[in-house]
Structure 1
């Protein structure tokens, strides 16, 4: 019996276009100013820039060089933890200023409410930072959805295509793997979760449906129908 739903964000609860056409361009445009304005008196920014310097080989004293690295990583959609942490801080300003609101599919929002009310525990696992995850759901077009979630996971538990990441998540939430349903639009992530015994479903919002042995869903209404059978 499924007791926990673990969900991805990009391409699953939320559109790919929101992330790639709104959040990423905003980050690339504003990250330089954000870092220069906050570097001197924000230890968290300093800590993440030190991690960028260590990963990239650029001197920690070369602020312009580090900003250029970050802008390149944004364009390449790199899953680097310090980039994700800095983006989360920057996007918080964008949400709070009203520059944008988080896109969440209406079917996903309704399902999350329903599952929570039925006693399911809901978690997020995304390559975006926990801060960014809370922002997209807390400032969504469908209202504040954060009360429905029991917790959030990002790349600090591991990469999403690594089975060990899902073992770490299971250790933290303390449930049997076959009671967890993981939702994602990336089959390699689902395969990693299946390796540790989680159940999975593939979300394909648009385009042709692939041939696969795992459940394939167009939206969360179909996921809900699957859950009601189990």
Structure 2
């Protein structure tokens, strides 16, 4: 069956986990309270706080209270939409000020460019917000890579370990699931995608998942279409 579209994860797949864990997460944690104090009345920020209030049951009546909750969620690595949205806003400030650039594996950059040039449609699915994904690829070490992608998906489409999320995404893309290849370094995500009918490939850059039931690749060069 011919592949028409590729859906890719970010962390551990196109980019190192360490960049997110060692650069982006600490930056958002460090800047959270000051950002909330400065932008407390901003509608998009107020909406994140309202969603967090509903999620947590806490009053979050001040920037300090909200920051404590969000920082706790960061420490717990919670995949909660208002946190991801707020992190994206903070990361945007960091990207735009030149505090960092997003890491990209060179094989991922080269292969994504080649696939797009061959007419394949490329999409991103990550637990980070769509805004954060666009910033990531827009301010990468390899330059602005956003023109490569036809669309982005985040937790608003559902959890990455739920088959229905992939059904929603392929329906939105408008390509039959069996013609979509999903790339990830997490087997549980690949299991869910396969349950939804997608083709799957495990990116095993650290060479630790040798017995996977999915097609396996150590770099993007090894991905078979």
Q: TM-score range by the shorter chain?
A: over 0.9
- Distance in 2, matches of 1:146 and 1:63, equals 33
SS state at 2:161 partner: coil
What residue is the counterpart of 2:5 in the other structure? 4
Q: How does 1:73-152 map to 2 (within 5 A)?
A: 73-152=73-152
The Cα shift of 1:208 comes to 2.5
Residue deviations 1:111-153 (CA, integer Å, cap 9, x gap): 1110000000000000000011011111000111100100000
Residue deviations 1:12-67 (CA, integer Å, cap 9, x gap): 00100000000000000001100110012x10000000111111111032432221
1:18 aligns with 2:57: no
Q: CA RMSD in A?
A: 0.8
- Distance in 1, matches of 2:68 and 2:215, equals 42
SS state at 1:141 partner: coil
SS state at 2:122 partner: strand
What residue is the counterpart of 2:35 in the other structure? 34
Quick check: 2:207–2:218 contact (8 Å CA) kept in 1? Answer: no
Quick check: 2:205–2:219 contact (8 Å CA) kept in 1? Answer: yes
TM-score by length of 2: 0.98
How many residues are paired up? 224
- Distance in 2, matches of 1:143 and 1:63, equals 35
1:168 aligns with 2:207: no
List alignment gaps of at least 5 residues for structure 1. none
- Distance in 2, matches of 1:207 and 1:217, equals 9
- Distance in 2, matches of 1:159 and 1:110, equals 29
List alignment gaps of at least 5 residues for structure 2. none
TM-score by length of 1: 0.95
- Distance in 2, matches of 1:207 and 1:200, equals 17
Q: Runs of 4+ in structure 1 displaced over 6 angstroms?
A: none
